[in-house]
Amino acid sequence: MKIETFALERWMTRWETVVRYDLAESGIKPMTVDELLTLAGRDAALERMLGISLGYSEARGTVELRGLLAALYRDVTPDEILVTTGAIEANFLLFNVLLNPGDHIIVVDPAYQQLQSVPKAIGCDVSLWKLRPENDFRYDLDELEALVNVRTRLIVINTPHNPTGSVLTPVEQERVFAIAERVGAHVMGDEAYRWLTLPGREPFAGPVRDLGERGISVGTLSKPFGLPGLRIGWIAATPEIVRACWSQRDYISLSPGKLNDYLATLAIQQREAIFARTQKIASENLATLEQWIHEREDLVSWVPSRGGLLGLLRYDIDVPSMELADRLASEASVMLAPGAAFGYEHFLRIGIGGDPAVFREGLGRAASVLEAARSEVGPA
């Protein structure tokens, strides 16, 4: 498969090991193994971990883990779950199973690039469902109605959304599902940011899998759990789709790592405590960010994120986002992701999941660079 370069990943790898203030990170401050074991009852959990024999694991993920994951949905059995190497493998398998060259599909835009680049590489006819700044990055259901046709095989949504923090409400998501059902298409929900509610925001839609057979949910421990290093994600879909994805996976990664599978079971069991940790970090950073924007409204503005951990900052400076992001990284050791990586100029993507002290300090340093850039080149 010939595929275009993953623009954001390339930009991130250039800076992420050298900057001190990574405000571009898309997840929550990662947990340590020690923190996770302590939540689960350290001595017993450690003893069980040390006794694990490191043979190949169950290909679909252990039945224990799949059972715990299945219980996160309505009426889903362990056979309707496939544990994958992160949400990224789940998405990749699903596209390869569900799509053929020439199929029409609809994908949210802007988007986590994989959601558009893989279907394009397969040879699909990809229509973009735009979240526009002039519409406060809301999903416009009438626009979806206009994009869908009898050839549409798949609608790909992502709620809460990377990079805008937009969400679908439960009613809106039901309408997406009804539109797909009308033409016999599936709805694939990249739910990497599930559970990540923000203080004072309206509730957003639950898993699309719960709406019916044509709903497919992708989940991960990377964002809400702060465990991206475990590389554990999953697919919740019908047994037929899960089996087909499993067949593809036989050629790629075969099975999850055994230690990771075990630590994932602990994480799911301890999720309420983990989400409390996540909420605490995200709400503290959100308050810091809102104050920071308020203090420089002529320079930076945003559509407040409605869920998840990400948002787009619009800056009023006459400089392309890639250049500005490089300057922030090299002069202030601050990473904010360039909007250009999502096809949006004069925006920087910010993540509110980092360590609160680092986040606050990073914003202060970013402000100095933004102010200097504006006085040099003027407003956009």
Only segment of 43-51, 54-62, 83-91, 371-379 that touches ligand PLP (CB under 6 A): 83-91
Q: 93-112 mask for ligand PLP (x: CB under 6 A)?
A: -------------------x
Cβ closer to ligand PLP: 88 or 299? 88
Cβ closer to ligand PLP: 112 or 177? 112
Give min distance, CB of 296 to ligand PLP, in A: 27
Q: Per CB under 6 A, does 116 bind ligand PLP? A: no
**Pairwise CA distance, residues 143 & 327, whole Å:** 37
**Pairwise CA distance, residues 339 & 325, whole Å:** 9
**Contact predicate 230/260, CB 8 Å:** yes
CA 318 to chain centre: 30
Q: Per CB under 6 A, does 113 bind ligand PLP? A: no
Q: Per CB under 6 A, does 335 bind ligand PLP? A: no
What's the token pair of residue 18? 């050298």
User: Which amino acid belongs to residue 51?
Assistant: G
Residues between 1 and 40 with contacts to ligand PLP, criterion CB under 6 A: 26
Q: Per CB under 6 A, does 159 bind ligand PLP? A: no
How many residues touch ligand PLP (CB under 6 A)?
13
Only segment of 86-94, 133-141, 298-306, 313-321 that touches ligand PLP (CB under 6 A): 86-94
**Contact predicate 274/226, CB 8 Å:** yes
Q: Which of 207, 233, 338, 362 binds ligand PLP (CB under 6 A)?
A: 233
Residues between 170 and 199 with contacts to ligand PLP, criterion CB under 6 A: 190, 192
**Pairwise CA distance, residues 111 & 341, whole Å:** 10
Only segment of 84-92, 178-186, 334-342, 352-360 that touches ligand PLP (CB under 6 A): 84-92
Q: 207-226 mask for ligand PLP (x: CB under 6 A)?
A: -------------x-x----
Give min distance, CB of 74 to ligand PLP, in A: 22
One-character DSSP codes across 140-152: -HHHHHHH--TTE
115: closest CA among 343, 303, 320?
Answer: 343
Give min distance, CB of 87 to ligand PLP, in A: 3
Give min distance, CB of 232 to ligand PLP, in A: 8
What's the token pair of residue 71? 């219980």
What's the token pair of residue 173? 């998501």
Output the CA–CA distances (angstroms, integers) from residue 377 to 313, 317, 363, 374, in the order listed: 19, 7, 21, 5
Give min distance, CB of 111 to ligand PLP, in A: 7
Q: Which residue has the tokens 């089996």?
A: 243
- Enumerate residues 6+ apart whose C-beta is below 8 A from 108: 115, 128, 129, 131, 139, 156, 157, 158, 161
Cβ closer to ligand PLP: 108 or 266? 108
